[in-house]
Amino acid sequence: MATTTRINRTVLCLLGLLLIAGGGFGLSRGFDSFAALPADEPILSDTTRAWVAHHHGAFWAAVAVAALLIALLGVVWLRQQLRGALPANQDLARHADESGSTRVRSGDAASALADEISNWPGVQDASARLLGDPDRPTVLVRVGVAADADFADICRRVDAEALPELRQCLELEQLDADLELRIRTREGRAVR
């Protein structure tokens, strides 16, 4: 979610600056701000038309390629918007020896971790995802906790019980963790 927001901010600023630059240039030229570029010329001058006609094949091929690239960027940007709040689990690839590698399904391990945490007192729900470098993944844990729960105890148990178990299960030396607590109000509302 934070990554999507960052990408959106950057792309919106870039597109905005492009529009301001283009519109600003058009307006300035329309008000005769450039001595060498008179305002009373047609928007598409005969010189430009002649140049395009001279490079007809290459010019329109370049336009088509540029348009397809823009379309591709649009699709990538759109896909980013449709990503869920929690990214999908990434399986862990292990190189056992020179002959091959094993793929560890991290989704099952993450689900087991979430199931365990959700049974603790004060916890209403939990979800987990394993992401990042297969040798040093990060586990994102989201825990819905009752407002009157003992937060410190839940955090301590995640750190001292749940994460070491997951580390052992995945045979990892190092496992970084990000824990997000979501306080559920007494009425049981799932606050967003």
Residues 1-30 interacting with other proteins (rule: CB under 8 A): 1-2, 4-5, 8-13, 15-24, 26-27, 29-30
For other proteins (CB under 8 A), the number of binding residues is 75
Task: Report the distance separating Cα 158 and Cα 113, nearest Å.
Answer: 9
* Shortest distance in whole angstroms from residue 96 CB to other proteins: 30
Instruction: Sort strands 138-146 and 123-131 into parallel, antiparallel or unpaired.
Output: antiparallel
Euclidean distance between the first and final Cα of the chain, in Å? Answer: 13
Between 147 and 169, CB nearer to other proteins: 147
User: Is residue 184 within 8 Å of residue 190, measured between CB atoms?
Assistant: yes
Q: Does 185 bind other proteins (CB under 8 A)?
A: yes
Cβ 74 to other proteins shortest distance, Å:
3
Taking CB under 8 A as the binding criterion, the range among 94-102, 106-114, 123-131, 158-166 that sits at the site for other proteins is: 158-166
Closest to other proteins by CB, 7 or 94: 7
Q: Which residue matches tokens 């928007």?
A: 43
Residue numbers 64-93 binding other proteins by CB under 8 A: 64-65, 67-75, 77-78, 80-82
Write down the least CB distance from residue 118 to other proteins, Å.
16
Q: Is the CA virtual torsion 104, 106, 108, 109 positive or negative?
A: positive
Residues 164-183 that bind other proteins (CB under 8 A): 177-183
Residues 6 or more apart whose CB falls under 8 angstroms from that of 172 comprise: 135, 136, 137
139-161 burial by CB neighbour count: b if 16+ within 10 A, else e? bbbbbbbbeebeeeebeebbeee
Interaction residues for other proteins, span 107-136 (CB under 8 A): none
Q: How far apart are CA 137 and CA 140, in angstroms?
A: 10
Neighbouring-strand partners of residue 64:
none
Subset of 37-66 contacting other proteins (CB under 8 A)? 37, 39-44, 49, 60-61, 63-65
For the bound state, the minimum distance from the C-beta of residue 120 to other proteins, rounded and expressed in Å, comes to 15
Q: Which of 126, 158, 166, 170 binds other proteins (CB under 8 A)?
A: 158
| Spatial distance between the Cα atoms of 48 and 34, rounded to a whole number of angstroms | 18
Considering the complex, state which of residue 46 and residue 97 has its C-beta at the smaller distance from other proteins.
46
Instruction: Read off the tokens for 170.
Output: 């995945």
